[in-house]
A = this chain, B = another copy of it.
Amino acid sequence: MISLDKAIGIVRQSVSALKGEEQVALVESLNRVLAHDVVSDINMPPFRKTAVDGYACRAADLDNPLSVIEVIAAGAAPQKNIVQGTCSKIMTGAPIPNGADCVIPVEDTEILSDGTIRFTGDKPKSNICELGEDIKIGESPLSKGTLIKPQHIAIMAALGCHSPIVSVRPKVSILPTGDELVEPTEIPQGSKIRNSNGHQLIAQVASAGAIPIYHGIVADTEEATEKAIAKALTESDVVVLTGGVSMGDFDYVPRIMERLGVKILFDSIAVQPGKPTTFGVAGNKLIFGLPGNPVSSFIQFELLVKPALLMMMGCNTPYAPIYRLPLANDYTRKRAERLGLFPVIVNANGEVEPLEYHGSAHIFALARAHGIASIALGIKEIKKGELIDVRSI
């Protein structure tokens, strides 16, 4: 049994970025990972421009009324120079005319009866954006490895990167194992239960930006399991099993994995839920054996598999941010030999409230959860008001 940090470290050291990239349309790049730095082909702003609607003028002239000599629209070019006692009406984003050193906002002015305008504000600010002050030609505001969100789409659009090159997405085979499982379309009889993990994993893989390949339920025989894993290893970059990785007699998956040339790097983590989590490698392929309980499977995917998938895409921010937030009430537990994880909501005061939670089979506890909180190995109690680590889910 190793610590969660150690398990995360082992996975990180075992991952290599996939080779291969593809060029996609700007909008299709959402949630993909940039394969190259995006380099600016222009200065931004590309010219000296106004940040406000107002009047471009000389700050030294503001004590007296100013004659309006021109109106400069966004997208237009100024025709006249500003000289003493004059100004040009100017729209947000339009180029600053020569001679002007500030723009007074339209709301800080009044129009006098003779058509001149007067500054009614206090101290003038320049309200001028200088050429290249945000970015210069050749600079790279978006690095290779960026996971593309809407704000990055705007940056690429601004820089002319209209068909970004992104890394290829890993293929992930999903193999739920266990004779107790039936698919959601069936009504479980006797001691059967429905397969929830397999479908949850499809959704988790897709949410992580990778390609899920669903195998269907694998029968609880050594032959069927070995055949399914062998096939998955040929067609995918990552194999995720659930169930069959615990200490029971019928849980022969670790044995099969070794037979298929999979080097097992750990088979147990000091974490609750999720202790019987197995991880191995076969060449550059990764194999995760996740526990059969759906909360364990969910959490271990988020902690271990999702970062691995992001790293395979070259993502430079593979780990979810952790927020340190105050606990709303005392939290205690009886045993502390594993790091503990439990579902919580963040209330309107920004405090963390643990949800009712019966253990790792209790998927309904996740229905309303905002996140998963953690309590360190060795710690049995966290007091109200103390900070606790929370991962958003």
Contacts and interface: CB of A to CB of B under 8 A. Distances in A.
Copies held by the complex? 2
A231 interface: no
A94 interface: yes
A159 B186 CA distance: 10
A261 interface: no
B180 A160 contact: no
A134 B199 contact: no
Nearest to A351: B324
A361 interface: yes
Contact of A158 (B185, B294, B358): B294
Interface stretch (A42-50, A280-288, A376-384): A42-50
A364 interface: yes
B187 A42 contact: yes
B184 A74 contact: no
Interface in A29-74: 30, 41-42, 44-47, 49, 51, 53, 71, 73-74
A44 B190 CA distance: 13
A298 B154 contact: yes
A142 B367 contact: yes
Nearest to A38: B367
Contacts of A251: 53, 91
A155 B74 contact: no
21 contacts: A26-B199, A27-B199, A42-B188, A44-B193, A46-B191, A46-B193, A53-B248, A77-B191, A93-B180, A150-B207, A151-B200, A151-B298, A154-B197, A155-B196, A157-B199, A159-B194, A160-B187, A161-B184, A162-B184, A323-B350, A324-B350
Interface string A1-41: 00000000000000000000000001100100000000001
Interface string A347-374: 0011000000011111110110110000
A156 B184 contact: yes
B192 A75 contact: yes
A249 to B, nearest CB: 6
Given A74-B191, A153-B196, 10 more contacts: A42-B188, A51-B359, A51-B360, A53-B246, A71-B249, A75-B178, A154-B294, A157-B198, A158-B193, A324-B325
A75 to B, nearest CB: 3
Contact of A134 (B47, B73, B207, B364): B364
